[in-house]
């Protein structure tokens, strides 16, 4: 109890909303925060006059020793945009030239995966079957969980319901419901729905349709990625989720796993955080596991390289490509376990099917993969 109370105090001290309130009530911090907000505003430097750059640099330097430095937000929290606006007041460094690359917008969230629960659901529905449809199992698993079923129904309804005026779906409402689903439903369910492995095109198309692409992001013609990035960076939530994704899924050729941060669960969560924003990624078709946002680099002109680098973060990212292998992504496991996981998973299904459909841990191989029960 004491430990959890301490954690709450620590997290509260890192909350940008709390830090912002603390700064606003401090006679020394408050004017510096106001100056900084003028610095990052579109025409703020003009209002500050000829000494704008110096004033901005001084404000930033002073605030680096305040509670604002190091504050973060929680994905999907109430007043998320307000919290992120405070974060970016300090971290938007176009004018003052500082790049605080060691920081990122959202708090790190550790989530465990309940392997036995998912396997048990499959055993309940597919006893005696030689082929397991993991995507169907994922849908069934969601339907028996109250929160998952409720929020999934909400986003599907929001994404397929046509508006009275245009007859088209309400894209903003659809995307808001999608973000709510992926922010609030445990990863056990969302990862299974989004990354279930498929062996045929019908299954793959059902998987691709999980986020209702026709409403959530598709247009007749693919927009330019640079234009989409510009729209994204003008929105606090979109900019923050992209920054988090680029941090948590940063590739590394020197890393044995291909991921610089070596945190597979964080990369998975950061990827799902992109769903429901301007640069929503999804499977490119129903015959591959490749993912990309709905945009292209045609007509990029002198920004072609920048555009291709952005797309490459999805299409040519060794960290993301390893994570999106079906055997690993549903369970947040590192690629080094790929060779052994299918065998272990099969054993789980077999055991559960033959032992009254209840988890029997002592029948499983002696593997660290199953120590998190």
Q: Which residues contact 42 (CB under 8 A, 6 or more apart)?
A: none
Least confident of 45-59, 69-83, 98-112, 142-156: 98-112
Question: Does residue 328 carry a pLDDT above 50?
Answer: no
SS3 annotation, 162-208: ECCCCCCECHHHHHHHHHHHHHHCCHHHHHHHHHCCCCCHHHHHHHH
Q: What are phi and psi of 297, to 5 degrees?
A: -105, 15
Instruction: Report the distance separating Cα 123 and Cα 357, nearest Å.
Output: 6
Cβ neighbours, 10 Å, residue 2: 6
Instruction: Report the distance separating Cα 188 and Cα 111, nearest Å.
Output: 9
Most confident of 159-168, 183-192, 349-358: 183-192
Distances 41 to 51, 95, 287, 348 between C-alpha atoms, Å: 16, 10, 45, 56
Question: Does residue 367 carry a pLDDT above 70?
Answer: no
* Relative orientation angle of helices 115-126 and 187-195, to the nearest 10 degrees: 60
Question: Does residue 133 carry a pLDDT above 50?
Answer: yes
| Rg, the chain, Cα only | 23
Picking from 198, 316, 318, the residue whose alpha carbon sits closest to that of residue 264 is 318
Q: Alpha helix locations (H) across 290-340?
A: 304-315, 318-323, 326-329
Q: Tell me: the pLDDT tens digits for 278-307?
A: 999 999 988 777 899 999 999 899 999 999
What is the model's pLDDT at position 304? Answer: 95
pLDDT band at 167 (very low <50, low <70, confident <90, very high): confident
Kindly state the percentage of the chain with pLDDT values over 70.
71
Phi-psi group of 249: left, alpha or beta (phi > 0 → left; psi -120 to 50 → alpha; rest → beta): alpha
Picking from 208, 212, 201, the residue whose alpha carbon sits closest to that of residue 287 is 201
Can you list the domains of the chain with their CATH numbers?
Answer: 2-91 (no CATH), 131-334 (1.10.220.110)
Backbone CA torsion sign across 197, 221, 157, 274: positive
Q: What are phi and psi of 39, to 5 degrees?
A: -65, -40
What is the model's pLDDT at position 355? Answer: 35
Q: Tell me: the pLDDT tens digits for 170-229?
A: 999 999 999 999 999 999 999 999 988 888 888 899 999 999 999 999 999 999 999 999
Question: Does residue 5 carry a pLDDT above 80?
Answer: no
pTM for the whole structure: 0.76
Q: Tell me: the pLDDT tens digits for 355-366?
A: 333 333 222 333
Picking from 336, 322, 339, the residue whose alpha carbon sits closest to that of residue 259 is 322
pLDDT band at 56 (very low <50, low <70, confident <90, very high): confident
Q: Tell me: the pLDDT tens digits for 303-320?
A: 999 999 999 999 988 888
pLDDT band at 347 (very low <50, low <70, confident <90, very high): very low
Q: Is pLDDT larger for residue 36 or for residue 212? A: 212
Backbone CA torsion sign across 108, 114, 115, 118: negative
Q: Tell me: the pLDDT tens digits for 122-131?
A: 444 444 444 6
Q: Tell me: the pLDDT tens digits for 233-261?
A: 999 999 999 999 999 999 988 887 788 88
Q: Tell me which DSSP letter residue 68 carries.
A: T
């Amino acid at each position: 109890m004491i430990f959890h109370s301490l954690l709450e105090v620590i997290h509260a001290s890192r909350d940008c909303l709390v830090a912002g309130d603390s700064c606003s009530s401090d006679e020394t911090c408050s004017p510096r925060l106001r100056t900084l907000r003028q610095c990052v505003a579109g025409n703020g430097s003009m209002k500050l006059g000829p000494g704008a750059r110096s004033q901005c640099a001084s404000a930033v330097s002073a605030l680096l020793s305040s509670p604002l430095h190091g504050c973060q937000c929680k994905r999907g929290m109430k007043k998320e945009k307000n919290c992120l606006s405070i974060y970016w007041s300090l971290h938007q460094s176009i004018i003052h030239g500082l790049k605080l690359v060691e920081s990122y917008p959202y708090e790190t969230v550790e989530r465990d995966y309940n392997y036995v629960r998912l396997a048990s659901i499959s055993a309940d529905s597919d006893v005696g079957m030689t082929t397991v449809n993991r995507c169907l199992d994922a849908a069934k698993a969601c339907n028996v969980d109250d929160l998952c079923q409720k929020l999934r129904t909400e986003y599907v309804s929001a994404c397929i319901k046509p508006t009275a005026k245009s007859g088209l779906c309400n894209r903003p409402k659809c995307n808001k419901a999608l973000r709510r689903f992926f922010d609030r439903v445990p990863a056990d369910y969302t990862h299974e729905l989004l990354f279930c492995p498929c062996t045929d095109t019908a299954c793959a198309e059902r998987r691709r349709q999980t986020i209702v692409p026709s409403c959530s992001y598709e247009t007749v013609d693919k927009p330019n990625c640079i234009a989409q990035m510009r729209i994204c960076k003008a929105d606090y939530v979109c900019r923050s989720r992209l920054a988090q994704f680029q941090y948590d899924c940063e590739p590394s050729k020197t890393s044995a796993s291909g991921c610089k941060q070596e945190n597979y669960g964080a990369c998975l969560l950061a990827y799902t955080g992109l769903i429901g924003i301007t640069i929503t990624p999804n499977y490119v078709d129903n015959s591959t596991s490749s993912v990309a946002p709905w945009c292209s680099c045609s007509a990029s002109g002198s920004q072609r390289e920048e555009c291709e680098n952005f797309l490459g973060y999805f299409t040519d990212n060794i960290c993301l490509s390893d994570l999106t292998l079906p055997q690993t992504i549903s369970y947040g496991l590192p690629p080094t376990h790929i060779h052994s996981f299918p065998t272990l998973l099969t054993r789980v299904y077999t055991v559960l099917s033959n032992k009254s459909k209840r988890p029997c841990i002592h029948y499983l191989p002696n593997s660290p993969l199953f120590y998190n029960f």
